[in-house]
Amino acid sequence: MKDLVVIGQGYVGLPLSQAAAKAGFKVTGLEVNQDVVDGLNSGSSHVEDISENDLRIMLENGYQATTDNSVIQEADVIVICVPTPLGDAGRPDLFAVEAATEAIAQHLVKKSLVVLESTTYPGTTEEILKPAFEENGRQLDEDFFLAFSPERIDPGNKIYRLENTPKVVGGASSKSGDLAVEFYSQFIEEVVKVKGTKEAETAKLLENTYRHINIGLVNEMAKFSHELDIDIWEVIKAAKTKPFGFQAFYPGPGVGGHCIPIDPSYLNYSVRKALGHPFRFVDLAEDINNSMPNYVVQRIQDLLNEHQKSLKGAKVLLLGVSYKANISDQRHSPAIPVGQGLADKGAELSYHDANVAKWQLNGEELESVAGLDEAVQSADIVILLQAHREYDLHDIGKKAKLFFDTRGATDSDEAYVL
C-alpha cells in the first residue's frame, strides 16, 4: 500500500481521495480548515458528489483528514487540489498553491511524486513549485518527481465522474510524467500523457476558454435575435441537426461555476504577461457574458412595462440560484448579479431552490419559499434561472402571471424566453 496525501479536501480533493482509497492507497486529506477536518473524520461530507456512505467506506479503508503538515513526510505521492481564485485585476491568486508548496518543501523527505491539480496559468509548476522543491540541494528525478494534471471534475455529473473522465498529465521531466501516469492509471480508466507541464496547464484553460467563447457567441446572438424577432432556441435546435462541424451551446443569464468565469482569465493573464497584449477573444467573450445579467434585468423591466407594471415594487420570484441545474453550488452564479440588478431597481425579491435553503444577496440572507405553487401565483413575474429537475415548467408557465425563461427549457406557450 502506498501513502497518498491530498492537499485540499474540497470538490476536487475529496473525490480524488475517495477514488485512490478505493484503489488501495492509504489516503490522508490535508486541510487548513479544522471544521472540515472534524466533519470528515466524523463521517460528515461537505461535498455533494461524496455521500455520507461514500465517506464511511473511505474511513473504513483507512482514510483520515488532518491539519498536520508533517503527514507529508510519509507520502509517496502528494497531490495539490487547492483553490486558485482570481485576485485583483484578473491576476491569479496563488496564495493557497504557494502555501501548499511551502509545506511540501519543508516536509519532503522521501522521493515523492508531487502533482499539482489546481487550475493556474501556464508555467506555474516549473516556475513556482520546482524551484521551491530544489532548495537545499534536492534535484528533480533524484530527490522528487513533479507533474501537473488538470482537474476535470464536473459537480453533479452522474455520467462522467473522476474514474471515467480521461486524465491529462504532463511531467516536469519524462520520468515524472511516467510516474504520474502510473499513479493515476490505478484508479482512472484512461490517462493521457502530454509533452510537459505547460501543455497540461494550457489544455485545461483551452477547454474552458472554448466554452466561454462559444457561450459568448450564442449570448450575443440571443440579444440580436430577440430584436429581429427570431427564436434563437429554434435556431440552435435546427443547427445541431448537422452531424458534423457544429456543437450546440446555449444562451443564458450569465456564466457561473468554478471554471468558465475564471479559467479564461488565467490564459489572458499569461498572454498579457508574456506577450504584452490581451487575448482578444477572451476579452470579448467576457464582456458579452458579463453583460447578460443586466440584459436579463432589462428584459424583465421591459416585459413588466408591456403589461402596465413597474419593476419597482413588483413581486419577483427567482427559480434556481445555483450556478448549474440540480446542485447547490452557488460559486459565481449569475443569479447573484441578476438578483442584485432587480433589487437595485426596487423589485421585491423572493426565490425558490430545493438545493439552496438559504441564499445571501446584498448582505441579506433570504430563505427559499416554502410553497412553490403559492409563490408562483402571487408573484408579478417568475424568472427561471436554473431548470432544476423538480420544476414542472409547463405547470409553472400556466400558473404564473408572467413567466420568463432564461434557459429555453419550457414548452409553455405562456412563457417568454431569453
DSSP output for 266-324: HHHHHHHHHHSS--HHHHHHHHHHHHHHHHHHHHHHHHHHHTT--STT-EEEEE--SSS
Task: Compute how many other C-beta atoms are within 10 angstroms of the C-beta atom of residue 360.
Answer: 12
- 10 Å CB burial of residue 270 (0-12, 13-18, 19+) is buried
* Angstrom distances, CA of residue 267 to CA of 40, 126, 259: 34, 16, 12
Q: Residue 74 and residue 71: Cα distance in Å, rounded? A: 6
Q: Which residues contact 96 (CB under 8 A, 6 or more apart)?
A: 8, 82, 83, 84, 118
Q: Residue 152 and residue 16: Cα distance in Å, rounded? A: 11
C-alpha grid cell, residue 20: 485512490
Q: Residue 354 and residue 241: Cα distance in Å, rounded? A: 34
Residue 81 among the catalytic residues: no
Q: Which residues contact 401 (CB under 8 A, 6 or more apart)?
A: 377, 379, 380, 381, 382
Catalytic residue among 14, 108, 259, 379: 259
- 10 Å CB burial of residue 380 (0-12, 13-18, 19+) is buried
Q: Residue 145 and residue 372: Cα distance in Å, rounded? A: 55
Helix (H) / strand (E) element for 206: namely helix 197-227
- Report whether 107 contacts 70 (CB < 8 A): yes
Catalytic residue IDs: 259
